Structure 1
Amino acid sequence: MKRCPWSEGFKEYRQYHDEEWGVPLRDSRMLFELLMLEGAQAGLSWATILKKRDNYRLAFDNFDPVKIASYKEEDQARLMNNEGIVRNSLKISGVVKGSNSYLALQALGIRFEDFVWQFVGNKPIQNFWRKLDEVPTRTFESDNMSCALKKVGFTFVGSTICYAFMQASGMVNDHLINCPWHQIVSSTDSHLVANCN
């Protein structure tokens, strides 16, 4: 089986590629978790975060925004002492800020799912890359998403992080065309792009 080359290396990576990466994700809480984990990855490899994902879920109350938004200084101090996650104070406080931003959108009647999917017109973008070096690290759509997320208070949401988030959540299909999962997750639907003004 010829998977995307980045997924080879260890069993959990291959499983993540085969079962999650690029599959359209339409659950607000799970999208929030994924974005927070992508932010935790900044400066590190996704393999590092994937290996710690269960620890993150335990440490951050399964990424429940209501619970995280109520964290006090002692909670953040507790997380800084947790060896099972990346102990970076800015990244930890970024999850708390992200939770507050998530709830602020919710209070306006905006589901997080709808907020992030608007940047691809609510339909996955189908790409047809042959080699890894053809795959971009940011796009017009990820630039717009980054801009909008920052405006509502999220941190660690630069365009490169947003594009990785879009790839992982199936907003774009960046499986290489010789990978069998390209066809599995593909769709012929067109897309529209929402501008960040």
Structure 2
Amino acid sequence: MSQITTTCPWVTNDPLYQQYHNKVWGRPVYDDRELFAKLCLDGQQAGLSWLTILKRQANYEELFFDFNPQEIALMTQDDVERLLLDTRIIRNRAKINSIIGNAKAYLAYSQNGANSFSQLLWSFVGGQPVINHFNVMAEVPAQTPESQAMSKALKKLGFNFVGPTICYAFMQAVGMVNDHLTSCPCYLESSAKK
């Protein structure tokens, strides 16, 4: 178990959730494929708690080829039907199809010779983490103009399950914004890593 005393009140006493909060959430991620995987997983969260997805993350990684977009893009509707029967993931046709569609959108974007996927996503925060100074959860927004712009751009590229609220949760998780409360020990750790 982690040695950090969790002060962000959204974290339960579940050890997996505490580990995620203390070691993953809010730490900057710049790797294209890690960002792609996280975006897909955040889309699976729609209407559910993050802990529900976190507990199934390894299953998603196994069933979706470690989030290799080249392999995911080759999946067929037969694969979707098979996955709809697999109790190890969220069995929602639209969400499963979104991972496949997002892989195709990711590949199309990657092959057009533009900036990397990471550069695209990080451009919405000017390429560096935004360090917020929230003292209570009521101050933390569900979405921002930046997450709205990211959502619009991703949808234009063909991505699904990337609404502005999902995009903001994604931005928080991959350290584009530091939304640890100022009283949380992770706040200073995340703020120091630029």
CA contact (8 A) 2:44 2:90 kept: yes
Distance 1:28 1:77 in 2: 28
Deviates more, 1:54-63 or 1:108-117: 108-117
Distance 1:155 1:72 in 2: 17
- Report percent identity of matched pairs: 47
User: Is residue 139 of structure 2 the alignment partner of residue 160 of structure 1?
Assistant: no
Counterpart Cα distance in 2 of 1:2 and 1:48: 19
What root-mean-square deviation, in Å, do the aligned CA atoms of Structure 1 and Structure 2 show? 1.2
| Corresponding residue of 1:62 | 66
**CA apart distance, 1:59:** 0.8
- Could you tell me whether the CA contact under 8 Å between 1:126 and 1:188 is conserved in 2? no
Report the residue type matching 1:147 in the other structure: K
TM-score (norm 1): 0.93
- Deviation, 1:188, is 9.6
* 2:131 is the counterpart of 1:113: no
Runs (4+) of structure 1 exceeding 3 A deviation are none
Q: Does 2:142 correspond to 1:137?
A: yes
Contact 2:6-2:22 within 8 A present in 1 as well: no
**Superposition deviation, residue 178 in structure 1:** 0.4
CA shift in 2, pair 1:188/1:65, >3 Å: closer
The 8 Å contact of residues 27 and 175 in structure 2, kept in 1 or not, is answered as yes
The 1:61–1:143 alpha-carbon spacing in structure 2 relative to 1, beyond 3 Å, is same
Match of 2:40 among 36, 44, 47: 36
Q: Is the 8 A contact 1:68 1:99 kept in 2?
A: yes
Gaps of 5+ in 2: none
Contact 1:31/1:169 (8 A) holds in 2: yes
Match of 2:30 in 1: 26
How does the TM-score come out when normalised to structure 2? Answer: 0.95
Distance in 2, Cα, partners of 1:184 & 1:172: 13
Residue 74 in 1 paired to residue 78 in 2?
yes
In the alignment, what sits opposite 1:192?
A: none
Measured after TM superposition, the shift of residue 187 of structure 1 is 4.8
Structure 1 unpaired stretches of 5+: 190-197
State the aligned residue count. Answer: 189
